[in-house]
Amino acid sequence: MAIFSTLRSRRFAAVQTETTEQIITFCLRKEWFALPILAIQKVIPLGKVYGDPQGTGVSITAYEEQEIIVIDVAKFIFQDLSSSDLVDTAESDLSGLEWEQQRYLVIINLHRQTQDLLGLPIDSQPVMRRVTKSNFKTLPKAYLDRGNINCVSEEIIELPEQPPIFLLNPQSLARAYNL
């Protein structure tokens, strides 16, 4: 018995599907970063943070009736800039919009078994994207050895007519702060 197929189904079968990965992208000090969506528990507007009078970049905030550690990821990634540089840069990009209303907190789960949560304040509203595996490119070893940007994985994401997106490594962020 012959199997009949339509032209449309034959064309569809001929198209090779490429694996995609969901990521959350966001801006920190005019550079774009991403985290895999599976590493993120939730994204919320940034509320009050407490307990960092010396400006170390580690503080706490309340989330769903528990205290979670908040690390100033921008301060660690760009070690050479002060937090006042962060505000000046972001305000100039937001064209006069209120700075406090534009910050968000990305909550990641460091250890699925223990529910250790870590909050990362970000400068822009995050964007979820589906990225094909072919868009992931390996960073040159010479660049990684220079240490221009800390806590990134060995890959960047290149999209047409977009600046490169550095893929952050949540585990190296936690190790950097001994969490």
Handedness of CA 150, 95, 26, 31 (dihedral sign): negative
Q: Is the pLDDT of residue 13 over 50?
A: yes
Token pair 């990225």 in the structure block, residue: 131
Query: In degrees rounded to 5, what are phi and psi of residue 52?
Result: -135, 60
Give residue 176's pLDDT band: very low, low, confident or very high (50, 70, 90): low
81 pLDDT tier (thresholds 50, 70, 90)? very low
| Reported pTM | 0.72
Structure confidence by residue, pLDDT tens digits, 14-30:
555 778 899 999 988 88
Each residue's pLDDT tens digit, 93-129: 333 334 445 789 999 987 666 667 889 999 888 999 9
Taking the C-alpha atoms of residue 163 and residue 158, their distance in angstroms, rounded to an integer, is 7
